[in-house]
Structures are given as structure tokens and as C-alpha cells.
A and B are shown apart, each in its own frame.
Chain A
Amino acid sequence: MKKYFTDIFSGIWNLLKGMKITGKVLVSPAVTECYPEKRDELQPKERFRAELTMPHNENNEHKCTACGICAMNCPNQTITVNKSKITDENGKSKIVLDQYLYDLGSCIFCGLCSRVCPQGAIEFTNNFEHAVYTRSKLIKQLNKPGSKKVEVAKPVAPAAKPASAPAQQEKEAAPKQENENNQ
């Protein structure tokens, strides 16, 4: 009998606690972003994956070694890495990237490609306005014309980097380690 009443009143108390939580949500501001109206003020979250890009530095150089791990990891065969073998001036043969093709139309934005990239050469950006008139325009070449791989072998001016550089390296190291664990 005692349990009957304690159950009822603890039940009511718990229901009121639930209503308190939803009441707090009611008065908190909405998370909806009004898209066409506030287009200029939109601030997508940093981790939002909208479009794959290959960052180039000011010398039109990228970090891609054309290893193709990204293409292997892609569940949809969205990425095509066209590479060719060349012989450099020292007589060493090496593989260079010709075309890095990314089909936005079949991308599921899982982020596996940028996660597994050993060089950190590709990353997702927040540009989500993808609408085009033909599907062929969705296939994008990510390496800019005339670009080449950045020469990491010769650290010419390491002092030029500001203090934020180590932090960035740590960030990049974390996914790499996970990647090794996966393999």
C-alpha cells in the first residue's frame, strides 16, 4: 500500500522533472538557421562536412602524394586519383598526381577520405552551396592546374611558422594514430 502511493508521487515528481527540461528547451533560442534570409551571417559548425577540398599553399603546391588511400577508403568510389610515374632530374622515378577527381554527386560526406589521408592533403570545408544545372559539373578536379606536390623533404624556413604550428600538428596527428589502429 505504501509502495502504491510512493510510486504515484515519485512518478508525478519525475514527470515534472521531465517537463522542467522541456520547459527550459522551450525558452532557449531555436537552432534553426534561416538560409536565404541570413545567407551572409550563416556560421556552419567547424566540423560540418560540406565539400571536399585540397588546400594549396601560395606557391600552388599541395600535399597529395597520389597514394590513393582516400580512393580505396571511399565507400562510394567518389574519388578517382589519376597518377603517372615520372623520372626526375636525379634519375629517380616517382609518382605524381595528375588529376584528383571528386564526384560531389555521389559523395555521402562520411569524411573517411580526409580522415585516412596520411599527408593531411584533403579536408572538408563548410561551403554547402552545391547547386548546379548539370551533373557533370559536380565532378570536380581538386588539384589546381599546374600545381605540384610541396617539397617536404627540405624544411627551408621552419622558423617562419608561428607558435600555432605545433598545435596544428598535434591535431593532425590524432586522426593518423587512429588510422594506424584501424589498419
Chain B
Amino acid sequence: MSLELIDGINKIHTLLTDNIEATWVSLIEYVLVGLGFLTLYALIALFLIIFERKICAYFQCRLGPNRVGPWGIFQVIADMVKILTKEIIPLKHNDKLLYYAAPFIVIMGSLLTFGGLQFAEGVYGVDFNVGVFYLLAVSSISIIGVMLAGWSSNNKYSLIGAMRSGAQVISFELSACLSMMAIVILGGSMNLSALMAAQEDAWFIFQSPFTWVALVIYLIAAHAETNRGPFDLPEAESELTAGYHVEYSGITFGFFYVAEYCNLFINAAIGTLVFLGGWQALHIPGCEGFNAVMDAIPSYIWMFGKTLVLIFLSLWVRWTFPRLRIDQLLHLEWKIMLPFSLANILLMAIWVIYFK
């Protein structure tokens, strides 16, 4: 499908260039690509919300939403329509500009990350030499939005939630980045396409034992960055009502909600691209028949399938473990995961020098 998609895009491109001037063509194409990403973004968020609700129900021996549509799959559409019709309640004595800007910054952070991802063979927004670095950089823009939301709401709960979120995300960013640096050493590039090419014969987890350490560290750190599961103390319901978005209602809250689920997808997708071979099929060197069968499966199915597995793992963790305290959380990061990821980089470098 990805090749057909590229063909279609090329046809649109030739159609436009034949008829309109070059500058207008670029402008129109930017808008079209942006629209495509926004649609994908919304669809992924909708899918993940229903997916999480169903999986969480099964983890608790329930059935989950089952009234609207078959297996309740339209429940999330109904919820979306409801949240669009709700009132945005204005606050007194708060910083209006920052208050209304915060959800957009959160959304923007995750949408920018979308542009750097690769969804299938040749399907991506941008691909440049510092792709991994770009993904890491823009995915942490969201934290500015979270902090602004907490600050501008003029509410003690949201402020505490935002401060906790800031401490948590900035700490765990370190481990996430360092674990990915180990992969950059192994792959020899920060360019995502080059990393994909390096994984054609074997995914990175099959190339070095230290990739497994990096993968575990990355999954924990990425999970903590999404403010979910055992690391959800920024929005700890029992202490902070809803954390940094306690004063938001209607679609402004909806933005935070959608961004949370898309960050879940983004973290799983980055993990897939960097550790699990992205859209590359499972290849065993020397087994031509097996490789041919695996190649017959389209690349976008590989990409989304692997991402879904990581998302499922994240949900499993979320619905299993109790919430950490802030000191336990920082202990986990600074005393356990950071030394491990630093040592892992060193060991990976030695591995690359002597065994590759």
C-alpha cells in the first residue's frame, strides 16, 4: 500500500506542478501533508482510546464499552462529539494567554514528533541526518505546555501536578535519550532511514545483547514520560484531582487527552523504529523462503503491529502496578536507570569496536 500511496502522491505532485507555479505548489502540498498528519493523529488517538478502554476492561475482568456500535467501537466517537459540545469554562484571576496557549503547545509537541516518524517504507514527513535527535527534542516540547497549564491555571493542584510532571519528564528524558544513544552507536547514524537500512538483515535487538538493556530502559523511561501507569503522579486522582489539567474543560481538556494518547503512540513508534526494526520485516539471514514470506506482509502492517505490541505492553504495565511516590520515582531514574544506561553506552561502544 505504501508504494501505491507514494504513486498517488507523485501523481498529485505532477498534477499540481503542471498547472500552478512552484511556490504555490509547495504551499498547497504543505497544507495537504499537514492535513494528512492531523487526520492520522486524530484517528490514532481515537483508536488508542477505545483500545485502552477495552484492554483495561479485560485486565479487570470486565467487558468495557459495549453499547455504541459493535463491541462499543463507536463509543469513542460519541465521547468525542460530547467533548466538542462542552463549554470551555473561563477562569478568573489566571493568565489567560498562557492558559489558552498551553493545550496547543502540548498538541504541537506531539504533532511535530509525528512529522519525524516513519510509518511505512518511504512514508514519512521529514527525514534528515539528525532524525533521532529531532524526535527526542520535539517530543519534550510538550512538557512546556504541561508546565504552562499548571502555572496559568492559578490552582494549587495543577501547579503541584505540573511541577511533578516537570521533574519526572526531565529526569526520564535523560534515560530515554541515553538508551537511544546506545543504538545510535550501534547503527552508526542518527538518520532514521539509515537506521532502518541497518536493520534490514536483523533488527537491532538481534544484533547486540546490550540493545535489550537499552530497550528495557527506553520502555520504562518512555512510559514515565507519558505520565501514565505507575508513573502517573502528576495527575494522581487521589491527591491532585486531575493534576495539571484540572481547570480545563471541553475541547481544551480534550487536547490534553488526545496528546496523552498520541504520546503513547509516539513513544511506542520511536521504540519500534529504533529497537525493533521499524517497518522492516523479520528477516533471518540465510532463510530465503522465510524472508520472502515475511516480505509479503506490507511494511505498514509491520510498523503498526510492532507499535501495537509495545502499546499493549505499556497498557499491561499501567493496569498492573500501583503508583510510585515522587522520591521512589526519582530514585528509580537517578540511582538505577541513569547509571545503567551510561554503563550500557560504554559496553555498547566496546561491543561495536570488537564484535561488529
On whether the two chains bind one another, the answer is yes
Using CB atoms and an 8 Å cutoff, list the residues of chain A in contact with chain B. 8, 15, 18-19, 21-23, 25-26, 28-32, 34
Contacts of B66 in A (CB 8 A): 34
The A-contacting residues of B in range 313-356, CB under 8 angstroms, are 316-317, 319-321, 336
Instruction: Report the bound CA distance from A50 to B3 in whole Å.
Output: 62
Other A-B pairs beyond A18-B320, A21-B320, A30-B61, 5, CB < 8 Å: A18-B321, A22-B59, A23-B316, A26-B58, A26-B59
B63 CB–A CB distance under 8 Å:
yes
Contact B320–A22 (Cβ < 8 Å): yes
At the interface, yes or no: B207 with Cβ under 8 Å from chain A?
no
Tell me the smallest distance from the CB of A179 to a CB of chain B, in Å.
35
* Closest B residue by C-beta to A20: B320
From A8, A15, A25, A26, residue with most partner B Cβ within 10 Å: A26
CB of A52, distance to nearest CB on chain B (Å): 29
How many Å lie between the Cα of A29 and that of B59 in the bound state? Answer: 10
* A25:B317 contact, CB within 8 angstroms: no
A32 touches B62 (CB 8 A): yes
Q: Which of the residues B62, B316, B320, B321 comes within 8 Å of A30, measured between beta carbons?
A: B62
Contacts of B320 in A (CB 8 A): 18-19, 21-22
Interface residues of B in 52-66 (CB under 8 A from A): 55, 57-63, 66
CB-based contact B316/A22 at 8 Å: yes
A23 and B66 CA atoms in complex are apart in Å by 22
Chain B residues lying within 8 Å of A18, measured Cβ to Cβ, are 320-321
- B62 neighbours in A (Cβ, 8 Å): 30-32
Query: Size range of the interface on B?
Result: 10 to 19
Main secondary structure of the interface of A (DSSP, over half): helix
Cα distance, A18 to B322, chains bound together (Å):
11
* Cβ B317 vs Cβ A30 within 8 A: no
A25–B316 touching, CB < 8 Å: no
Instruction: Tell me whether B319 and A22 are in contact (CB under 8 A).
Output: yes
Identify B61's interface contact among A19, A21, A31, CB under 8 A.
A31
Q: Which residue of A lies closest to B66 (CB)?
A: A34
CA distance A25 to B61 in the complex (A): 7
A142–B59 Cα gap in the complex (Å)? 42
A8 neighbours in B (Cβ, 8 Å): 336
B60 touches A25 (CB 8 A): yes
The 4 closest A-B pairs by CB, nearest first: A22-B320, A32-B63, A31-B61, A30-B63
Complex: chain B residue closest to A31, CB-CB: B61
Contact of B321 among A15, A23, A25, A26 (CB under 8 A): A15
Which chain B residues border A21 with CB–CB below 8 Å?
Answer: 320
B212 to chain A, nearest CB (A): 12
Give B59-101 as 1s and 0s: 1 = Cβ < 8 Å from A's Cβ atoms: 1111100100000000000000000000000000000000000
**What's the least CB distance linking A139 to chain B, in Å?**
33
Give B166-210 interface residues, CB cut-off 8 Å to A: none
Q: Which single residue of chain B is at the shortest CB-CB distance from A21?
A: B320
Least Cβ–Cβ distance between A15 and chain B, in angstroms: 7
Question: 24 interchain pairs (CB within 8 A)?
Answer: A18-B320, A18-B321, A19-B316, A19-B317, A19-B320, A21-B320, A22-B316, A22-B319, A22-B320, A25-B59, A25-B60, A25-B61, A26-B58, A26-B59, A26-B316, A28-B61, A29-B61, A30-B57, A30-B58, A30-B61, A30-B63, A31-B61, A31-B62, A32-B62
Q: How far is the CA of A9 from the CA of B201 in the complex (A)?
A: 32
Residues of A within 8 A of B61 (CB): 25, 28-32
A32 to B60, CA, bound (A): 10
Chain B: CB-nearest residue to A33: B63
Give A15 to B219 CA distance when docked, in angstroms. 14
User: For residue A26, which residues in chain B have a CB less than 8 angstroms away from its CB?
Assistant: 55, 58-59, 316
Distance (whole angstroms) from the CB of B334 to the closest CB of chain A: 13
